[in-house]
Amino acid sequence: MKYGLLTYAENKRTFNIGDNIQSLAAKQFLPKVDGLLNREKLSAYSGDPIKLIMNGWFTHNIQNWVPSENINPLFVSFHINNTSAPFMLSEKGIAYLKKHEPIGCRDQYTVDTLLEKGIEAYFTGCLTLTLDTYKVPDSERGDAIYIVDPLNGYTNYKKVTYDYKRFLRSIQHGTIFQLGKRKKHLDKFLDKNLQKDAIHINHEPPARKYTEAEKFAMAEDLLNKYARAKLVITSRIHCALPCLAIGTPVIFINGFDNFDDSCRFEGILDLFNRIDVDSKTGNFTTNFSLEGKINESTRVKNLEKHHILAEPLKAMCKDFILKN
């Protein structure tokens, strides 16, 4: 039997290294990797029968759904975004998923969406919760604090200048005048010295600069950094969820008010120490004790709720690989 691993299409300017982190979570269960299968081109696969763990966000190229019959899939940590669901859940799409049910879903939104179509589905959480293979002894933990794309859902310069059409829309809708809002809101709960001294990481490197091997190496490097951090502060779930797995204290900043974004989080947000930010006013609440602003002395302890999801995920993936 052959074993495949998901890779991902780049957009015009960037790619999301969080996707590669999701693939690393799948890779750890594979005895070998015989092929890299692009998530957006699964219908075009025509090689030998191949097993593929189908975790993550689906899909941008809806016209390429459903996957090839030569792919033997395991659906765990599967997310159908609300923008894609009407197209993916055509008569053909429903029949495909029913053939491979039950479908393990990353979030409750996907569970409910599939159940409404008569597809057996259940909540698994995200496969990145199993990345404890990157955990290191406490003696290797340093003093580094990482701030990783906080409030990345807010308008920023890259978004409004992504292309000519988006730039015009940002003027038409007034979003271009909100470029300072992200910093203003972060200043409400992040100490300025911390913002200056912390190590800032961007999970969206520039497109068309790296090979697939280099992307996976970058993802592994980030996991190794996070494993040795004193604290990680992020709005990226594929930074925060691995931090839970590797035991690094993490604070998730939730400032998403667009359903296209927030539908990804249902069932996941309760796993984190969390700051919930009103994207209009910047007012915020926390589900943990916080006096003043987060600074270099802030200490949090992870909630450790993820284990109840991580262990069944490991068992499902191992069983899938062992079965003929």
Cα separation, 237 vs 159, whole angstroms: 20
pLDDT in tens, 33-73: 999 999 999 999 999 999 999 999 999 999 999 999 999 99
pTM score of the predicted model: 0.93
Whether 324 has a pLDDT exceeding 80, the answer reads no
Q: Work out the average pLDDT over 138-158.
A: 89
Whether 178 has a pLDDT exceeding 80, the answer reads no
Q: Tell me the β-bridge partners of 190.
A: 294
Say whether the peptide bond before residue 59 is cis (omega within 30 degrees of 0): yes
Cβ(233)–Cβ(253) below 8 Å: yes
Whether 297 has a pLDDT exceeding 80, the answer reads yes
SS3 content of the chain, % helix, strand, coil (to 5): 40, 20, 40
pLDDT in tens, 155-171: 665 765 666 676 566 66
Output the pLDDT for position 153.
85
Q: Work out the average pLDDT over 131-142.
A: 96
pLDDT band at 124 (very low <50, low <70, confident <90, very high): very high
Cα separation, 243 vs 247, whole angstroms: 6
DSSP designation for 131: G
Cα separation, 71 vs 48, whole angstroms: 9
In a 13 Å sphere around the CA of 67, the CA atoms on its Cβ side amount to: 25
The pLDDT mean for the chain works out to 93
Cα separation, 133 vs 135, whole angstroms: 6
Secondary structure (3-state) at 53: strand
Whether 292 has a pLDDT exceeding 80, the answer reads yes
Output the pLDDT for position 106.
97
- Which bin fits 118, alpha (ψ -120 to 50), beta or left (φ > 0)? left
- Closest Cα to residue 1, out of 22, 30, 24, 29? 30
pLDDT in tens, 236-257: 999 999 999 999 999 999 998 7
Cα separation, 13 vs 187, whole angstroms: 28
- Closest Cα to residue 139, out of 250, 231, 228? 228
How is the chain split into domains, by residue range? 2-128+309-322, 131-306
Whether 258 has a pLDDT exceeding 90, the answer reads no
CA angle 226, 229, 230 (to 5 degrees): 145
Output the pLDDT for position 177.
56
